[in-house]
Amino acid sequence: MFFVIIAALVLPIFLIYRHFSPRDDKKQRYAEEARRRGCAPAPVMRKKGFLGFGHLLDGLKASRQERGPQHVIEAIDGEMGPDVHTVIVPISDYELIDVSEHRTASWKPMFGLGIFTSRGEQWKQSRALVRPQFATDQINDLELYERHVQQLFAAIDKHQNREHNEGFTHPFDLQPLFYNMALDVMTEMLYGHSVHSQDPSERVELPSLPGYDPPDRERIGYHMDGGKAWIEIRGAFWKYRWLLPPWWFNEHCAAIHKYAEWFVQLRLQQGEKYMDGLRHQSGRPNSDRFVLLNELAHVTQDPVELRSQTLNVLTAGRDTTAALLGWIFYFLSRHRDVWVRLRCEIILIYGPYQEDDPGVTFRQLRDGLHYLTAVINETLRMAPVVPLNDRISLRDTVLPRGGGPNRDKPVFVPEGTQILIPTYALGQRPDIWGPDADQYRPERWLENGGRKFGFEYVPFGGGARQCLGQQLARIKASYVVIRMLQRYDAILSAEYPPDAPIRFHHTIENRSGSGVQVRVHDSTWDDSS
């Protein structure tokens, strides 16, 4: 019913647009330029549905069913065949002019202009402002990670019922716990104060700030999720987004702005004393502590820019890490052999779990454990945290192949064309990853001397706009995985089907001399041999 109403509203606007749209020789110019460059047209999917909006509505429906990435593959394979990888998808007759009218218009109301939402000179300024803050020495606060991982363990332990369940936890969903933990880490790293969504009793009383109500630390995650759900719809409808009801989206935006603005105003009013008011549970002086807002305030005093830059980093840092962790444990729960091998590597290097001394060093996280790195890479291939990305051509250019009857000719891309990059579909191609592309197999990253990254693997983007925070996301994910596998044994026992809910079981590890014995139910591995 919602889409029928929208279609009825769009129809008169569309007809007026078609009637008054300028008639020029664009198509002829494009054809001549394509011939001059030796290009051939890419295959074109059939128009579908009312006014050509069928593909758009199908995509929105699939997204609401949480299967948008799979829909891209099914739609193209179903109509064009599995060997066609570059297609033109007609949606009505509108065209996107540049990213400032698309991504920025969709995201700016909630997060403002920052490194994630801007382009051109604005993007360069944002990147120059934020990039130094992602230097190695700024993201190695393992004490911060450990404190929030301990709260994660406490949340997991609440699900235990050893007396009635033979040591296993009740079935439960890990994903919300990962989102809470990532939100706690990022808010503390950005503003110095964690929202403590995992354990609200840890929240400290904030100082009074004349003219500003205290921020809503309890519902900030809810508003971020709700706002981004609307952003997805707004982006899909593009120039017709003004037809969407604004009330709920505006409510989320206002709450998110209010949250960030409170800390920005506190930092601007207190200056360097802002750091003195922070609580540091490790006992180290606050002068040694990294807080992004404080660092940015040394460069700019513009409250809108400080709010926008920190919110841009907040949404990227929270969602990528939480999604990556969720998918890692999704695959580990369904591939016991991978779980066993990974846990053996971790126990061999770090030893069994110790609450007071995790024994994890930043150098080891940065350099990566071989199999853990392979697990992360394979997870990002199978389930990239950004399954669909897009770019806009700033000038006439070409794609190197995809045109012509054999799809080996270059494809002409006129200025202003939107190019969708389905990173999920890219990771499922047998011609790139082999006949087992649909199988979760981390070993593929270790074979033949190790696989190198190329543009067939872009989970964090590529080129100039490659994500600045990918190293931070990998380090946080690695730390959590190490601590989780140190503390917990196998996820599934033999009597549970592969699609059973996550279940944890404790075990005992024995370490003597150079030998480490790790018992995973009925599987034993001993490195002394």
DSSP secondary structure, 90-143, as one string: --TT-----GGGTHHHHHHHHH-SSTTT--HHHHHHHHHHHGGGGSGGGS--HH
Alpha-carbon distance 387 to 380, whole Å?
A: 10
Work out the angle at residue 255's Cα, subtended by the Cα atoms of residues 253 and 258, and round it to the nearest 5 degrees.
105
Of residues 74 and 215, more confidence is placed in 215
Report pLDDT for 59.
73
Mean pLDDT is lowest, of 94-98, 167-171, 441-445, for 94-98
Scan for tokens 């409808």, then name that residue: 237
Across residues 178-183, what is the average pLDDT? 94
The two beta strands, 418-421 and 409-413, are: unpaired
Could you tell me the two tokens for 261? 């603005």
Contact 159, 174 (CB under 8 A): no
Report pLDDT for 108.
59
Mean pLDDT is lowest, of 11-15, 128-132, 448-452, for 11-15
pLDDT > 60? residue 519? no
Q: Is 467 annotated as a binding residue?
A: yes
Alpha-carbon distance 440 to 460, whole Å?
A: 20
- For 252-277, b where at least 16 C-beta lie within 10 A, e where not — what string? bbebbbbbbbbbbbbbeeeeeebbee
Across residues 20-49, what is the average pLDDT? 78
Alpha-carbon distance 415 to 394, whole Å?
A: 5
pTM exceeds cut of 0.85: no
Across residues 5-27, what is the average pLDDT? 49
**CA-based radius of gyration for the chain:** 25
Angle between the 103-111 and 247-270 helix axes, to the nearest 10 degrees?
60
DSSP secondary structure, 111-126, as one string: H-SSTTT--HHHHHHH
DSSP letter at 518 equals: E
Across residues 330-334, what is the average pLDDT? 91
Report pLDDT for 514.
33
Report pLDDT for 290.
81
pLDDT tens-digit readout, 56-65: 777 777 777 7
pLDDT tens-digit readout, 284-309: 556 667 888 998 898 889 999 899 88
> To the nearest 10°, the Cα dihedral for 413, 414, 415, 416?
-80
Give the rounded percent of residues in the chain with a pLDDT score beyond 90: 21
Instruction: Name which of 398, 463, 468, 386 is nearest 427 in CA terms.
Output: 386
H or E segment to which residue 504 belongs:
none
Give the other-Cβ count within 10 Å of 301's Cβ.
12
Mean pLDDT is lowest, of 41-45, 162-166, 354-358, for 162-166
Give the rounded percent of residues in the chain with a pLDDT score beyond 70: 68
Scan for tokens 């995973």, then name that residue: 520
Give the other-Cβ count within 10 Å of 150's Cβ.
15
Contact 13, 51 (CB under 8 A): no
Alpha-carbon distance 477 to 321, whole Å?
A: 6
Report the SS3 class of residue 214: coil
Alpha-carbon distance 269 to 259, whole Å?
A: 16
In order of their start, the domains of the chain are 2-93+388-421 (no CATH), 103-385+464-526 (1.10.630.10)
Across residues 73-93, what is the average pLDDT? 76
Average pLDDT of the chain, as a whole number: 75
The two beta strands, 389-392 and 418-421, are: antiparallel
Work out the angle at residue 150's Cα, subtended by the Cα atoms of residues 144 and 152, and round it to the nearest 5 degrees.
105
Residue 400 φ then ψ, to 5°: -65, -25
